[in-house]
Structures are given as C-alpha cells and as structure tokens.
Amino acid sequence: MTFWASVVLAIVAALLYQARGVIGVIFCDAKMQAGDYPGALRRLRWTSLGIPNAVVLHKEGLILALAGRPAEAASCYRKALGMVPGGSSYPRERLLALLGYALIDLARYDEAEQCFQQAIEADDRTGNPQDGLAESRLVRGVEAGQALAFTCQAIEHAKGRADGRVPGTCYALQAWALALLGRSAEVDAALAQALHVPEPNPRVSASLHWRAGMALLALRQTEEARQHFQTAYDLDPRGKYGSRSRQHLA
C-alpha cells in the first residue's frame, strides 16, 4: 500500500469516527420506528464503536425510554448533557425535556418539572416542556386546571414549528385534562382533533391512543377506553405505551 493510500484511508477512518453518531442514528432509525427497540440498540451501539458521543447517547436514551427502560434512558441523557457545554449549538433543551419524561416514568416528579423548566429557560419553543409539565400532573391526577393550561401552551408553541403541525398527542393530553375537570362535552372535540391527522409512525400513534384511553377512563367510558388501549398495544406491543395499555386491558 502506498504512502498516499494510507493517508487517504486514515482520513476516511477519522471522518467516519467523527460521524459515527449521525451514522448510528440513521442506521438504527428504521428499527426504532418499527418498534424493534432491541434491534435499534444493537445497530446504534455497533456503529458507535463502543465510544458513544452526545448524539449516540441522545438516541440511545430515546430508544431505551420508548422500550420502557426509563432509568437507563435517564442515565444516557445525563451523560449526554455532561458532554455538551453551556453555549454549545447542540440542542440541550431537547435532552432536558427527554430527561424530564424519563423522570416522570420513574415517579420523580419534582426533578422532572425542574428539567422541563430548564428546557423552557433554554428557549425550547417546540411545546414539549409544557406537554411534559401537563403530563406530570395528569399521571398523578393533580392540578388538572394547571395541566390544561400547559396543554394549551404546548399547542400554541407547536403551531409555531416550521411545518405548523400540532401533534395529535397534544390534543389527546388536553382531552385527558378536560376529562379530569369534568368537562366531558369538550373531551370528544379534543379527541376528534387528536385523531384528525395521522401520526408519522406507530409508536407516536400508540402514545396518542394511550392518552386518549386515559381521558376516556377518567370519564368512566371503559369500553371506549379499552378500544384505544387495544389499538395502542397493537401498535407498540414491545414499547412502553403497549406495556401500559396491556396493564389496563388486563
């Protein structure tokens, strides 16, 4: 092998190493969207070469959270945040919001709300932190009025996204808040809005149907709630929303 060929190979190897996070995210995404979380993790960890960077840890945390492994997900998010200094162009606010959701799943609500507030202070304009602040209250069945206000804020922020699309999950969460407030006449309209536009992949649809089921369960409409839980389970049988829905079906 010539000297220059060796140099070129070294440069290519260095570039691939630097890009391992992006490559891993792309390589595992199809598995993740299909709900094959173990397969997605294998692909991501293989491409990271055993030396994960912030991008890899961010994606690994998301996959673990969707697989119903919040403690491991939270660890990944914390490690990723430790790699991203303040003032970096990396979206720390997304990591903070995701850490908040993982902490909700661990029933560490005060810590979760701190993360969501930090994401807001970091100028997160997606509506995700407000959505998380609402969910933190609704899963405990407390402060439904405040939760409703947060869902309204989340929807308004979502409207400001580049595509202007409000995720149906936001409206399903709003329906849950309305149900806990006893405003049953408004729940159907919120759920209709939630189901109006198809979600981009099965696991997002599963989260929507789980939230819809929780709203209807709050209204004691058990048969209608059961249909949504069954749909959520069918869409995401190996994920956290499928697992939660299966518990209600049982």
Q: What's this model's pTM, rounded to 2 decimal places? A: 0.88
Can you give the pLDDT at residue 22? 58
- 152-155: long-range contacts, CB 8 A cutoff, minimum separation 24: 153/127, 154/127, 154/128, 154/130, 155/127
To 10 degrees, what angle do helices 128-138 and 92-105 make?
10
To 10 degrees, what angle do helices 168-180 and 128-138 make?
30
Can you give the pLDDT at residue 46? 82
Query: pLDDT tens digit string along 210-243?
Result: 999 999 999 999 999 999 999 999 999 999 999 9
**10 against 29, higher pLDDT:** 29
Choose which CATH entry (1.25.40.10, 1.10.357.10, 3.40.50.620, 3.30.70.60) describes domain 125-250.
Answer: 1.25.40.10
**Which residues, at least 6 apart from 126, have a Cβ–Cβ distance to it below 8 Å?**
94, 97, 157, 158, 161
16 confidence band (pLDDT: 50, 70, 90): very low
Can you give the pLDDT at residue 20? 52
Fold of 8-124: 1.25.40
Q: Determine contact, residues 161/126, Cβ cutoff 8 Å.
A: yes
Spell out the domain ranges in the chain.
8-124, 125-250
Please state, rounded to an integer, the average pLDDT across all residues of the chain. 88
Fold identical between 8-124 and 125-250?
yes
